[in-house]
Chain A
C-alpha cells in the first residue's frame, strides 16, 4: 500500500479504469478496457502487442490526442480528462514530444525549419540556435537546409527526433519509431533515441510490436484485446 502511494506521488502518468469504446453498426466495440497505469518520471516503458490490440489508441489517449470513453488520465497531476481541447493542446505544448512511424515532417519545410517549428510555436527567440544544435547532435549539421524529400528515411527520423527533443518535453511518445526503417538504420535510431532520452531525462513511452526494441526499456506493458495482460 505504501509502495503504491509512493509510486502515485512520483508518477508522471496515472490512469484509472481507462476505456475507449466506439459505436459501430454491429454494436459497441471496446477498443480499450480497464486500463490502470502508473508511470514514473524518467521511466522508459514499452507498450507491446499485436496489430489492432489497442496500443496506438492507448498512447493517443495518454498524449491527449483523443478522449477516453471512461476513466481518468492525469499527466503531472493535471487531469487530462477534465480539460477541453485547448487545455489539452496547451499541455501537449508544455509536456509532450512525439516521434511517429511515418516521421510526420512538413514537406515544404527544411530540416532546420521542421525542428524550429515547436519552438516557434512557443515563441522561443532562440529557436534557430537550439534547432541547429540539436540537428548537429543527431548528425545532420550539414543537412540543415535540406527538405524531407532530399533526406533518407533514417535521416528524416533523426530530424523527427531532434524536433521531439527540441522543447525538452517531460514525456516523449514514440509510435513504432523504427517501423518504416531497415533493421540497421532502425538500430541507429533506437540508440540515438535512448541516448537523447537519458541526456534529457525524459519519460519515454514507446509503442512497438518488436520484443527486441521493447527490451531496451525498463518496463514492458503487453496489451491484448484492449486489456493489459
Chain B
C-alpha cells in the first residue's frame, strides 16, 4: 500500500511539473473521441434503425395474403410486443360519375407502431399535422389526387365498397407506403372497424395483410426466431435490412464508416500515446537511475511507473468519457435540424466501452516504452551517457497490433478479414521501414555535395536514423488515418449522390400495351418528362434448371426461393442496360442466335446456375428454354427497371408482352398522373417519390453526421500530430542551443529546422498516401462495395500537407531555441 501511495505521490509531483501534460492530452483525445464516436454512432445507428423501422411502421412485419393464426398474435403478446395490423386491397371508387381505382388500407388503432402519419385538414392542403394514429371509425383519409379525380372536398362523403365514410383529412405521409403493385393507385385510409362493413373482402379476394410488431431489439429477434420455422411459403417476414435494400446498404456503409472512424481515431491517439510515453520515459531515465541508486528494485520501478499509468489512465479515461459524452451531445445538437425528432438516449454501454478503450490503448501503446525504465542502470547517476536498450520491437508492435486487431475484428466480425487487413498492414509497414532506411542511406551518400543548410537539415534526420524512421512511421500512420477518413467519407457521399441523383426516376409505369408504347413515350416527351428506356415484359416462371425441377436447387428463405415462387418479369434487349455489368460470359452480339439468357448474379449464386446451364420457363401454358450466356451484376437501388432475366432478341417476341418504364416527375407536375391514368386506363403507375424523398433525407442525415465525424477525426489527428512533434523536440532544442553557442545565427537555424521538419513531414506524407490508398483499395473492394479510383492529386497533396503541418508544428516547437539565450535553454532541459 505504501508503494502505491508513493506511486500516487510521484504521479502528483510529476503532473504538477508538467511532465505528463502531453501524455494526458493524448489519452484524453483517445478516450474522448472513441467515447464520442462510440456513443454517437451507437445512438445514431439506433435512431436510424428506428427511423428506418418507420418505413415498415414497425420493427417486424408478417406480410401475407390470408390472416395469420391467432396463436401467433397471442405469442407476440406473451413476448411483450406491441401489435398493429393493416389490410391493403384495391377497389374502384365512384363519385360524381367519376371512376377511380384506389388503394384502400384499413388500419388498426395502434397503427403506426413506428413513425408518424402526416395529414392536413386545411383547404389549401399546405399545413401538415403530425398524427400518431390513423382515421377514426366512420372517417376516411384520402390522398389529394382522389379529391381532384372524384371532385370531392374535405367533409364530403366517400363510399368505399358499401360503406359511406366522411373524408376528414388529406393524407400527405404514411410511413410504410411501399412501391409495390398495391400503391400505384391513390390511397384511401380507413379504420379497421369499418372494414367488414365495406363488404369488399370476400373469400378469394386479392388482399394483403400486414401484421406489424415492435419491441426491444432482442425480443424482436427472439420472436423472429420463434416464428421463422412456422411460416408457410406465402407468409413473408420483413425487417428493415431485408425489406429495403437501398436503405440497408446505406445504413450498413454508414455503420462501417463510423466503425472505421473510431478505429482510426484510436490509432492516431495510440501513436500519440506511444510517442508521448517515449518522451516521458526518456525524461525519466535520470530520475529512475536515482531511484535505482537509492535502492529501488527493477520490479519496483516497473510497478511504480505502471501503477502511475493505470491511475493516470483511469483518471484521463473518466475525464475523456465525460468530454466524449458532451461532444456527442454537441454533435447531436448541431445535427438537430436534420435528425428525427425522437432520438434514442445514449447508452451507458458505449461510455463503458470508451473507458475500457482508454485503459487498453494506454497500456498497449505505453507499456513497451515504459518497460525501458526497468532497464535503466543505477550507474547512470555517474555516467549520463548510459541509455537503456530500446524496448524490443516485437513487444512494441505485437501489443499495439493486437489491440488494433481486436478493434478491427470487433468492427468487421470476420476473423479472416481481420488477419488479412493486419497482414497487409504489417507488410506495408515493413516495406515502408525498409524504404525509409534505404532513403536515409541514399541521402547520406549525397551529404558531402550539399550546401551547409541542407547538410545540417539532413544530418538532423540522419543523426539518429532509428528514431527518425519511427517518427516517420508514426507521422505517416497519423496522416494515413486522416487521409483515409477523408477519402472514404468523400467517396461514400459521392456514391450516395450518384445512387440517387436529383432527377432519379420517381415513378414507374407498368402494363403499357405495345400499341400504346409510342404514344406514351411521346406524351412523356411532350411534357418534358425524362424517362428511362421502355422494356418489354413477359411474365414467366422459372421451372427447371438443366431439366431438373428448380425446387431441388433452392434453400429455404433464399433469394432463389422467393424468385421461384412467383412469376418473374422477363425481358429482352439488344443492348446491355445501363448500370448492369457482365461478370461472367459475354453479352450477345448480332450474330448470336436467340434463346440466350443473361441472369442476375445474386440469383445465379443462390440457385447455383452457371454459364451454359439450360433454363426452362413456363409462360402461360407454354415452355421456353434458354441457355445462360452471361451473368450480370446490377444495382437494384437505381430506381430504373431492373430484371433478373434478360433474353436475347428473338427469344420472347412471340409471347404477349407489355412495357415498363420509369420517369422523373417533379412535385409540380404531379397532376399529370391523373391524365396519364385516364388516357391509358390499363396502365399502372407506381409512385415511389415519397419513398425516394425519405431515402434522400436519411442519406442527407447520414452524410451530415459523417461529415462531423470526419471533422472530429481530423481535429484529433492534428492535435495529436502537434503533440507528437512536441514529444520529439528535446534533442533538437538541445542541439539547436548548442549550435547557437557555437555561433550559428538565427536565420540559419530557422532554415535548417524548417527544412528538417518539412522533409520529415514530406516523407511521412508520402508514406501516408501509400498506406491510405492501399487500405482504401482493400476496404472498397472487400468491405464497402465502392469502386476504387486512383487519384494522382492525393499523391501530390498529402505529402505537401504533411510537410506543411509537421514543418509548422516542429518549427513552432523549437522556436524557443531562437528566442531565448542558449544557456537558459540548456539549463531548462
Contacts and interface: CB of A to CB of B under 8 A. Distances in A.
A16 interface: no
B389 interface: no
A155 interface: no
A108 B296 contact: no
B295 A121 contact: yes
A98 B294 CA distance: 8
A60 B379 contact: yes
Contacts of A66: 377, 379
B381 A65 contact: yes
A108 B3 CA distance: 19
A109 interface: yes
B297 A98 contact: no
Interface in B272-323: 286-287, 290-299
Nearest to A90: B295
B20 to A, nearest CB: 10
A221 interface: no
Interface of B: 2-3, 6, 9, 13-14, 16-17, 19, 286-287, 290-299, 377-379, 381-382
A65 B382 contact: yes
Contacts of A118: 294-295
B299 A92 contact: no
A92 B382 contact: no
Given A113-B9, A121-B6, 9 more contacts: A65-B382, A89-B295, A89-B298, A92-B294, A93-B295, A98-B294, A106-B290, A108-B19, A120-B6
Given A66-B379, A175-B382, A107 B17 contact: yes
A90 B297 contact: yes
A104 B290 contact: yes
A104 B379 CA distance: 12
Contacts of A85: 297-298
A182 interface: no
Given A104-B290, A108-B19, A121-B6, A94 B295 contact: yes
A96 to B, nearest CB: 8
Interface residues of A, number: 32
Give 9 nearest A-B pairs by CB, closest first.
A93-B295, A108-B17, A123-B2, A86-B297, A92-B295, A65-B379, A118-B294, A65-B378, A89-B297
A60 B298 contact: no
Nearest to B829: A107
Contacts of A98: 293-294, 381
A185 interface: no
A100 interface: yes
A56 interface: yes
Contacts of A90: 295, 297
A117 interface: yes
Contact of A117 (B16, B19, B294, B298): B294
A104 B381 contact: yes
B290 A120 contact: no
Contact of B378 (A92, A106, A109, A121): A92
Interface string A39-76: 00000000000000000100110011110000000000
B298 A108 contact: no
A39 to B, nearest CB: 19
18 contacts: A60-B379, A65-B379, A85-B298, A89-B295, A89-B298, A90-B297, A92-B295, A93-B294, A93-B295, A94-B295, A98-B293, A98-B381, A104-B381, A106-B13, A108-B16, A108-B17, A121-B6, A121-B291
A104 B383 CA distance: 12
Contacts of B378: 64-65, 89, 92
B13 A113 contact: yes
A86 B299 contact: yes
Nearest to B286: A104
Nearest to A64: B378
B663 to A, nearest CB: 75
A89 B296 CA distance: 6
Contacts of A121: 6, 291, 294-296
A19 to B, nearest CB: 17
A122 B297 CA distance: 12
Contact of B381 (A86, A89, A94, A100): A100
A90 B293 CA distance: 10
A175 B384 CA distance: 14
The winner among A66, A96, A117 for most chain B CB atoms within 10 A is A117
A30 B291 CA distance: 29
Given A65-B378, A89-B292, A175-B382, A106 B287 contact: yes
Contacts of B19: 108
Contacts of A96: 295
Nearest to B20: A108
Contacts of B294: 92-93, 98, 117-118, 121
